Amino acid sequence: MKKKAFFITLEGLEGSGKSSVIRYLESYFKAKGLSVIIFREPGSTKVGEKIRQILLDKANMELSKHTELLLYLAARTQLIEEQLKNTLVRYDVVICDRFFDSTLVYQGYALGLGAIVEKAVTMFSLKVIPDLTLLLDMPAKDGLRRIKNKDRIESRPLVFHNKLRKGYLLLAKKYPHRIKVIDADGRLSDIYKRVEKVLKNKFL
Ligand code: TMP
C-alpha cells in the first residue's frame, strides 16, 4: 500500500466537541483544494454500525469487558479492511472520529484491561497509524453536562470519565509527536484557532 493521505484522528472525552472540530477540519482542508473523507469509530461500515449499536445500547449492560474490547476491535478491523486501506491511497486527508487510542484509554486504562489491550491493538490496527491525533481536552463533568440521552458508555460514573482524562493525558505524554492536546474549553472560535495552530506547525 502506498499511502498518500494525511491521516488525522480525533480523540477526547464524551461531549468534548469532536464533531464540531471535524467539520472545521473538513472545511479547512477543502478550502485548500484537498480531498477529504471522514469516518467514525466504531462505525462507518455496515457491520461496524451494527456493532456500534450493540456497544452503545444501554440494554446491553451485561457485556463483559473482554467482549466489549473484542467488539471495538472487530469494528475497527472491518473499517480498516473495507475502507481505510483504500481511502488512505486515494484521498489527500482521511479523518477518523476516534481510533485505537480510544481502545487504549477506555478499555486498557479506564476499564483496567491493560497489557492485553496494547497487544490486541497492535495486532488489529494492521499497521495503520495516524499521522496526527488531536486530543480535545476538558474536565469530564463539563463534557458530560452537554449530553442529553446518555448511552451505555456515557452512563458510567464520573470516576470512570475522570480516569479517561488521566489516561488520555498520559498517552499524549507517551507519544508527544503524534498526539497534540487541544484545550477544548471555551468558545468554538478559540478552539478552532488552537487546532489551526497545530495544523500549521505540523504540515501546512
Ligand atoms: P462516540 O464516538 O460517539 O463518542 O461514541 C463511541 C463511544 O465508544 C464512546 O463512548 C467511546 C467508546 N469507545 C471505546 O470505549 N473504545 C473504542 O475503541 C472506541 C473507538 C470508542
Mean pLDDT by 10 residues, the chain (204 residues): 90 96 97 97 98 98 97 98 97 98 98 96 91 97 95 97 98 97 96 96 73
Query: Ligand 1: which atom is nearest the Cα of residue 42?
Result: 20
Q: What does the pLDDT read at residue 2?
A: 79
C-beta 72 within 6 A of ligand 1: yes
Q: What distance in Å separates the CA atoms of residue 174 and residue 179, rounded to the nearest whole number?
A: 9
Q: Tell me how far the alpha carbon of residue 42 lies from the centroid of ligand 1, in angstroms.
A: 7
DSSP character string of 83-135: IIHHHHHH-SEEEEES-HHHIIIIIIIIS--THHHHHHHHHHTTT---SEEEE
Beta carbon of 54 within 6 Å of any ligand 1 atom = no
Question: 32 alpha carbon to ligand 1 midpoint, in Å?
Answer: 30
**Overall pTM > 0.95:** yes
Q: Identify the pLDDT of residue 198.
A: 96
CA nearest neighbour of 138 among 178, 76, 190, 177: 190
Residue 1 CA to ligand 1 center (angstroms) comes to: 28
Pick from 98, 122, 134, 147 the residue to mutate for probing ligand 1's pocket: most ligand atoms within 8 Å of its CB: 98
- pLDDT number for residue 20: 97
Rounded distance between C-alpha atoms, residue 195 and residue 28, angstroms: 10
Instruction: Copy the grid coordinates of residue 48.
Output: 461496524
Ligand 1 in reach of 9 Cβ (< 6 A): no
